[in-house]
Amino acid sequence: MPSSLFDLTGKVAIVTGSTRGIGRAIAEELARAGAKVVISSRKIEACDEVTNALRAEGREAISIPCNISKKDQLETLVAETRKAYGQIDVLVCNAALNPYYGPMAGASDEVFTKVMGTNIQSNLWLCNMVCPEMAERKDGAVIIVSSIGGLKGSTTLGLYCISKAADFQLVRNLAMEWGEHNIRVNAIAPGLVKTDFAKALWDNPKTLSRVEAATPLRRIGEPEDIAGAAVFLASKAGAWMTGQQVVIDGGVTIAG
């Protein structure tokens, strides 16, 4: 008989930024583990593409478009999920942005505000909307997709890295605040993954070769490399884990 540790049958999961890359991979694997998944990003067409692909596999999924930087759209995302499925058991805050590449001295105030608002405040907004209902049931899992950028210094991704470091502390604080209600809050910290979001960091063959040479596993990640950790954290397998950051980076952060 298969183990039930990773079984998500009957659970409802929202995954933001789930139409491509890491978010899509997470949504797909949550659905394959049995969850009813809400596919969400800014454009309904992109959402429907993923939703239809999952339905074609026999999985359960719906599309609810949302720009996470808009609080009213987050409220709609939560309300429409409850309308469709009745509750929210798993929240994956994956969507983020990085509109600036370069030294922090060149970043405008507007860029700073946009990065911090979208990558940190939006996650807090969404958690505050969802965690109270989880507390009523004494069960829930929140996963914030951060980055190893939050663990390292950078000369070109400074603002993004600050926001990702803040996500780690957001996870710790939320884990403390909601732990007595059996809500687990954890972060996943990927290294460089082959996604459109990170294309500027891997698309150049010389840059890619240098990164791979510095990575103990000698390759950058694929979105599927991250998805399994989300299933673990969302399921019974992760029932006694909270306030932590799971680093999945091919060994980059141990290599010095």
For 42-53, letters b (16+ CB in 10 Å) and e give bebebbbebbee
CB atoms within 10 A of CB 211: 19
Instruction: Name the active-site residue from 85, 100, 101, 160.
Output: 160
Continuous segment of H or E residues that includes residue 78: helix 71-85
- The amino acid occupying position 211 is V
DSSP 152-195: S--SSBHHHHHHHHHHHHHHHHHHHHHGGGTEEEEEEEE-SB-S
**Six token digits for residue 223:** 């979105």
Q: Between the CA of residue 208 and those of 112, 213, 219, 223, what are the distances in Å?
A: 28, 9, 9, 17
CB atoms within 10 A of CB 109: 7
Q: Is 100 a catalytic residue?
A: no
Q: What are the residues whose beta carbons fall under 8 Å from the beta carbon of 49, sequence distance 6 or more?
A: 19
Contact in structure between 48 and 54 (CB atoms under 8 Å) = no
Name beta bridge partners: 188: 145, 246
Q: Which residues are catalytic?
A: 160
